[in-house]
């Protein structure tokens, strides 16, 4: 790594004034970027520009998605990745919609109780950092599958911009500079290759410094020139396997060679005349979201209004029911049988809705008493990343991918320069233990060799009368499903534009712990008091999610993009 602050400051000033002039020309009075030539919105301004550049060069939305994802692996290292996994929903202008599942898999050497200590307690350190935390990465295969099926430009052309960013370096913004300094001093410290990749040789990173990621550049160049095989069978696979073997990790060359991304049929639902196209298992997001919308369809939310205690109560009750079913039933479809048709049916939602008391909170423990056991504490982190893309023809991509926690396992593969995920923590780690703190121990999501861990990532596309309407998604662990549901609800049920739908306050309830959290100061105290009087435990929290959203006007063929201002460097870029 090296730094040359002065040159980069000039460079970034030039880039800033360029992007400012572009933005002025395109941002409307409501704060949305408006484009008829397509839009790319991500949490990294550089990555959004890379995606928009691909659209400008004649690439379609899938080409732009692949380029944006690889760029995020360079410029947004907390969550953008090639050492993790994720999900992509693609809707083509023809109306065909599909999904790409590139979720990580448990290594073949993993066991159901590998994260329990001698006393049978979950050892959370083992899934937080280090060599037992990663699942077999899926990102490179997933992006390659999407590109092979639906891309237009040569693979090399969509991967090389990221390789160049890593090799030539890019300027750090203040948030990333701060984040890297913190990581290098703390969580990455035990891993010399991580410190070598992301530390600054002298002193600490400042905004405007250039970071060069030489090894990552070489890895991305190999992927660009030789395709995904370079990652799964070539020297990169050798490097991962060697890193694991040296340090007691489980991923082998056999695991890597066997990894397949999968194209799966989307989960579909309806709300207020809109059609929702979203992610099936091994993400729980689509099923839970459709279940919530089906329940909410039974109530008139407009009359009391979006922010009334009555509506918020019904939304919480819908969330509670969808999340208990998530815990009861959902896992990897290649390993478990799930009643998906029933969970997403109108009949089932009607039965659930009929048991909601309009003035009183349901007890979560009562609702799930068949699966709840007493005991300990669980947490889930907030680092994943969403990007949303529409091209000039109206093809659309929603993609969410992650390393799980910020910077994943914190382990950089020596010589290959990329971070490995810590996604194994998304499995149910203790069979039979489902507790009021939020641990889940049900059978569907227990660890098994080769199995995909259950996710909440919910990339989503909404259509109306067969025409593209909306592209959205979010990070946020278990909050993801609710964030995405609320953004879609705001637009489809309450007519909000993309900016309003994204800026609106967010609420989260995940069945257990039995607590409704609201973003800080989002709602008046009187509203929270009414909810408490109904029996809800209500708390306030920091920001929830990062839901970059595009609403598409199919008549004028215009995309309206709202980056989520909850993330500092996010940007909607037009070609
Ligand atoms: O797949 C999942 O649901 C989680 N591993 C996602 C993690 C996440 O969103 C963390 N941050 N935002």
What pLDDT, in 10s, does the model give residues 548-559? 999 999 999 999
| 400 Cα–ligand 1 center, Å | 9
Q: Which of 384, 422, 3, 380 is nearest to 191 (CA)?
A: 422
Contact (Cβ atoms closer than 8 angstroms) between residue 198 and residue 130: no
Q: What is the pLDDT of residue 2?
A: 33
Question: What does DSSP say about strands 396-402 and 385-391: parallel, antiparallel, or unpaired?
Answer: antiparallel
3-class SS of residue 429: coil
| 459 Cα–ligand 1 center, Å | 12
| 103 Cα–ligand 1 center, Å | 11
Mutate to test the pocket of ligand 1, among 105, 457, 483, 542 (most ligand atoms within 8 A of CB): 457
Q: Would you write out the chain's pLDDT as a tens digit for each of its 575 residues?
A: 333 333 333 333 334 334 443 443 489 999 999 999 999 999 999 999 999 999 999 999 999 999 999 999 999 999 999 999 999 999 999 999 999 999 999 999 999 999 999 999 999 999 999 999 999 999 999 999 999 999 999 999 999 999 999 999 999 999 999 999 999 999 999 999 999 999 999 999 999 999 999 999 999 999 999 999 999 999 999 999 999 999 999 999 999 999 999 999 999 999 999 999 999 999 999 999 999 999 999 999 999 999 999 999 999 999 999 999 999 999 999 999 999 999 999 999 999 999 999 999 999 999 999 999 864 334 455 579 999 999 999 999 999 999 999 999 999 999 999 999 999 999 999 999 999 988 999 999 999 999 999 999 999 999 999 999 999 999 999 999 999 999 999 999 999 999 999 999 999 999 999 999 999 988 999 999 999 999 999 999 999 999 999 999 999 999 999 999 999 999 999 99
DSSP 353-391: HHT--TTSPPPHHHHTTTT-------------EEEEEEE
Q: What are φ and ψ of residue 552, in 5° steps?
A: -110, 125
C-beta of 384 in contact with ligand 1 (< 6 A): yes
Q: For residue 479, indicate whether it is catalytic.
A: no
Region at 195 (left for phi over 0; alpha for psi -120 to 50; beta for the rest): alpha
Cα angle 164, 208, 14 (rounded to 5 degrees) comes to 75
178 vs 334: CA distance, rounded Å: 41
Q: Identify how many contiguous H helices and E strands the chain contains and give both numbers.
A: 20, 19
Please name the residue that has the structure tokens 């993009």. 561
Ligand 1 atom index nearest CA of 86: 1
| 148 Cα–ligand 1 center, Å | 26
Catalytic residue among 68, 127, 384, 434: 384
571 vs 44: CA distance, rounded Å: 7
Cis peptide before 443 (omega within 30 of 0): no
Residue 312 tokens, joined: 């918020």
Closest Cα to atom 2, ligand 1: which residue?
455
C-beta of 404 in contact with ligand 1 (< 6 A): yes
Closest Cα to atom 4, ligand 1: which residue?
477
Cβ–Cβ contacts within 10 Å for residue 557, how many? Answer: 15
Closest Cα to atom 1, ligand 1: which residue?
455
C-beta of 101 in contact with ligand 1 (< 6 A): no
Beta strands in 129-261 (DSSP E): 170-171, 210-211
C-beta of 480 in contact with ligand 1 (< 6 A): yes
Predicted TM-score of the model (pTM): 0.95
C-beta of 456 in contact with ligand 1 (< 6 A): yes
| 447 Cα–ligand 1 center, Å | 17
């Amino acid at each position: 790594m090296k730094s040359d602050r002065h040159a980069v400051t000039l460079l970034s000033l030039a880039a800033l004034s360029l992007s400012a002039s572009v933005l002025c020309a395109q941002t409307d009075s409501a704060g949305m970027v408006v484009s008829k030539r397509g839009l790319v919105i991500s949490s990294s301004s550089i990555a959004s520009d890379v995606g928009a550049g691909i659209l400008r060069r004649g690439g379609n939305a899938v080409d732009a998605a692949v380029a944006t994802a690889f760029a995020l692996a360079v410029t947004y290292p907390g969550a953008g990745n090639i050492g993790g996994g994720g999900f992509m929903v693609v809707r083509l202008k023809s109306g065909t919609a599909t999904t790409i599942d590139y979720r990580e898999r448990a290594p073949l050497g993993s066991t159901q109780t590998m994260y329990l200590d001698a006393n049978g307690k979950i050892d959370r350190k083992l899934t937080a950092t280090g060599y037992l935390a990663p699942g077999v990465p899926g990102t490179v295969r997933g992006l390659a599958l999407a590109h092979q099926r639906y891309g237009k430009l040569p693979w090399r052309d969509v991967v090389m911009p990221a390789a160049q960013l890593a090799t030539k370096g890019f300027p750090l913004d203040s948030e990333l500079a701060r984040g890297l300094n913190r990581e290098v001093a703390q969580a990455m410290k035990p891993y010399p290759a991580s410190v070598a990749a992301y530390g600054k040789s002298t002193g600490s990173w400042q905004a405007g410094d250039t970071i060069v990621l030489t090894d990552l550049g070489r890895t991305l160049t190999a992927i660009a020139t030789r395709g995904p095989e370079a990652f799964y069978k070539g020297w990169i696979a050798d490097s991962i396997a060697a890193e694991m073997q040296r340090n007691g990790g489980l991923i082998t060359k056999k695991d890597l060679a066997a990894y397949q991304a999968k194209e799966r049929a989307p989960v579909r639902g309806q709300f207020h005349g809109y059609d929702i196209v979203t992610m099936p298992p091994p993400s729980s997001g689509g099923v839970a979201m459709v279940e919530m919308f089906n329940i909410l369809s039974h109530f008139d939310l407009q009359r009391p209004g979006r922010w009334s205690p009555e509506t918020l109560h019904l939304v919480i009750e819908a969330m509670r029911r969808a999340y208990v079913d998530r815990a009861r039933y959902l896992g990897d479809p290649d390993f478990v049988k799930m009643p998906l048709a029933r969970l997403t049916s109108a009949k089932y939602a009607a039965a659930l809705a009929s048991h909601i008391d309009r003035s009183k909170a349901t007890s979560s423990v009562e609702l799930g008493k068949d699966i709840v056991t007493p005991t300990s504490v669980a947490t889930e982190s907030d680092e994943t990343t969403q990007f949303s893309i529409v091209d000039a023809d109206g093809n659309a991509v929603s993609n969410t991918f992650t390393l799980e926690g910020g910077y994943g396992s914190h382990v950089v593969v020596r010589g290959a320069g990329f971070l490995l995920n810590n996604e194994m923590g998304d499995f149910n780690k203790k069979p039979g233990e489902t507790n009021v703190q939020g641990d889940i121990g049900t059978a569907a999501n227990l660890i098994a060799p080769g199995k995909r861990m259950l996710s909440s990532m919910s990339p989503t596309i909404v259509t109306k009368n067969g025409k593209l309407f909306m592209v959205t998604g979010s990070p946020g662990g278990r909050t993801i499903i609710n964030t995405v549901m609320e953004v879609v609800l705001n637009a489809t049920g309450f007519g909000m534009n993309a900016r309003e739908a994204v800026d609106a306050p967010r609420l989260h309830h995940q069945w257990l712990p039995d607590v409704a959290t609201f973003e800080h100061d989002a709602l008046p105290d009187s509203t929270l008091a009414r909810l408490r009087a109904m029996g809800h435990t209500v708390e306030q929290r920091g920001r929830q999610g990062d839901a970059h959203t595009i609403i598409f006007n199919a008549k004028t063929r215009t995309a309206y993009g709202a980056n989520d201002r909850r993330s500092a460097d996010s940007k909607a870029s037009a070609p």
